[in-house]
Amino acid sequence: MRSLASLLAGVLLTAGVLSVQAQSNQDWTNWRGPNYDGSSPARNLPVEFSPNKNVRWATALPGPSAATPVVLKDRIYLSSVDTANNALLALCVDRKSGKILWQHKAGSGFKPAGLGSETSLDYRSNYASPSPVSDGERVVFFYGNGDLVTYDLDGKLLWRRNLQKEYGEFCFGWTFSSSPLLFDGKLYCQILQRNLAVQGRGRDGEPSFLLALEPATGKELWKVERPSPAKMESREAFTTPVPVKHDGKWEIVLAGGDLLSGHDPKTGKELWRWGTWNVGHNHPTLRLVPSPVAGGGVVLGCAPKAYPVFAVKLGMTGDISSTGSAWRSEERSAVTSDVPTPLFYQGKFFVLSDLRKAISAVDSAGKTLWTTAIPSRAMCWASPTGADGKIYVMSLLGEVFVVSAEDGKILATNPMAQEQNEIRSSVVAAYDSLYIRTNTHLYCVAADAQQ
């Protein structure tokens, strides 16, 4: 029989573990949050706010970026450009005060041939678009010029590589912006690209691939090709790999090249593939932006340019193109997305249509529960965030719409960035606060703020 002292020790140990788990669940350490689906356990979040209302702090940023910040305990990490000095930056901000704790010039300035500057390849974005990622020990920054840079949490450089220099120039018509993934002791980077040179960039025959690196050193663990029947721009994907768990097993899901595929996290081996929304694979300009999202036994793939959303069954193997379809949204409906990645929250998918300017709640069987128009003259390219019974949606103009997850009612419209445009960073919900990035500031807003 166990002694009373040992029983009490076990209870205290369990309580301590649960406390650590509860705290870690509040972190937002990758682009789509703790569940990889845009949802957060944060509570007591504000409904109404502005740059002058319910703001705990506001920190001026050196330049714009579409990258979403990541939150780890008392620190926030984010990528940026320094517009004054034409540099790519890695920053660390104190979560409680907003003070910048450290800032490094991370990008090497490696510039591919063609259009753009040292920090940009096209007029719609810049090289700081990929979001950073952390595993609690280090933070990894990835940039559209191929720079992959890792620091410890205090800003000490651990290692750096440039994937374009080592694996060949990226073959994209637009600026590369896939975010990295840290999962199960590996760092994953996907390059889903054209196989024909475009605008003087890349080389004919260059394969798409999924790369796994050792997080502590940057050493390559494996690199597997990811073939696609798509043509030209339809091979380009600006998506991010997503870990998905089904029946107790994890896999890494990729979206791009007119198809979805699941991969073994340990080896990169393709477990299944499904396609396609591109009938006959003949449409040459269906580049893909929304990443996959899973829930309710299916994974969603959003076909681009007002095409439907497709749900694919999890737990299958091989080529499941003819057997894996669970459901698809109707043609010309509001359940479509060209840019934002859907949210899975409270057992439902929330599909934000930038083209239709509407958000829809869809159950895991494909039934549309409600659709709400987003009252903005601008589109919403930032992906929606779900927390505290609410959905937070930000437009390109920096308007943050707060939507009831239950019935779709718009609870508030909060302008956060007057006279700004092209704002694409997703709202982060962590530690009972919202972190909102505009082109000029990072805001922390909370219901109990003293403003």
Radius of gyration for the chain, computed over Cα atoms and rounded to the nearest angstrom: 21
CATH number of the structural domain 67-158? 2.40.10.480
Cα separation of 100 and 352, whole Å?
33
pLDDT at 115: 42
pLDDT at 366: 98
Low-confidence residues of the chain: pLDDT under 70: 1-24, 108-124, 281, 450-451
Kindly report the backbone phi and psi dihedral angles of residue 21, in degrees, each rounded to the nearest multiple of 5, phi listed first. -60, -40
Every domain of the chain with CATH number 2.40.128.630 lies at 44-64+340-451
Q: Using one digit for the tens of pLDDT, what is the confidence trace for 307-319?
A: 999 999 999 999 9
**Which CATH architecture is the domain 44-64+340-451 placed in?**
Beta Barrel (2.40)
**Considering only CA atoms, which of 354, 367, 435, 361 is closest in space to residue 391?**
361
Q: DSSP letters of 253-274?
A: EEEETTEEEEE-TTT--EEEEE
pLDDT at 279: 79
pLDDT at 282: 80
Cα separation of 137 and 333, whole Å?
44
pTM, entire model: 0.92
Estimate the share of the chain in helix, then strand, then coil, as percent rounded to the nearest 5.
10, 40, 55
Cα separation of 227 and 384, whole Å?
30
pLDDT at 264: 98
Is the backbone of residue 265 left (phi > 0), alpha (psi -120 to 50) or beta? alpha
Q: Which helix (H) or strand (E) holds 386?
A: strand 385-387
Contact between 382 and 423 under an 8 Å Cβ cutoff? The reply is: yes
Every domain of the chain with CATH number 2.40.10.480 lies at 67-158
Q: Using one digit for the tens of pLDDT, what is the confidence trace for 98-113?
A: 999 999 999 866 554 4
pLDDT at 124: 66
